[in-house]
Amino acid sequence: MYELILIRHGQSVWNKEGLFTGWTDVPLSEQGREEAIEAGKLLKDYPLTLAYTSLLKRAIGTLWLALKHSDKMNIPVIKDWHLNERHYGALQGKNKKEMAKEVGEEQVHIWRRSFDVRPPQAEKQAVPAVYKGLKEFPCGESLSDTCQRVIPYWEDEITKKIKSGEKIIIAAHGNSLRGLIMHIEKIPVDEIVKLEIPTGKPIKITLDENLNFIKRSFL
């Protein structure tokens, strides 16, 4: 039997302001920092040997604070864009409530919670050097698009480390974790879009010897 810890980053400054964030690299709010510290306290007696996170500072900062306050700063940390949040395209930086007034709450709900509908697309931009292996910078992703990078990374990279005995924590984002949970638990598409993942709360996933899902719970 194996166990895995997932944690959505703490509240970011744009979460606090109600803005679409996506790949915009914003820091944690003060509440987000406190959430990450509390997560660390919950992890204090939990064995961890390896950490994964995205390339976005709100996830990296959450992981750093959680490891610091669980006395696990010595474990290796792997940062990879495959675990980034869903790219919200031209919506990034826009206020969710104002967009609801402009285009209607139903349209905003579709953009936020549908599985395969992409947001309005942003302009193309060059791929930053830190995004190794990314051939084209996204202009806006659906949850389905996000799954298409998260799930292969899970299968090709993370599962091998779990089977080798590593005790893993993944600090990522609402949609990248939603896609991962959907895959691990085999949750139907129409159900996964309803799943809410709270910020800063460590989730324990229990798997059998073949990495089949057994149980999900909060620490």
Residue 141 annotated to the active site: no
**Cβ contacts of residue 183 below 8 Å, gap of 6+?**
147, 150, 151, 154
**Cβ contacts of residue 92 below 8 Å, gap of 6+?**
19, 20, 21, 22, 23, 24, 122
Residue 166 annotated to the active site: no
Structure tokens of 129?
Answer: 């050097």
State how far the Cα of 35 lies from the Cα of 49, in Å rounded to an integer: 22
Q: Which residues pair with 205 in a beta bridge?
A: 4, 216
Q: Three-state SS for 2? A: strand
Structure tokens of 40?
Answer: 């660390």
Which among 85, 87, 141, 173 is annotated as catalytic? 85
Which among 9, 69, 82, 87 is annotated as catalytic? 9
State how far the Cα of 194 lies from the Cα of 216, in Å rounded to an integer: 16
Active site residues: 9, 85
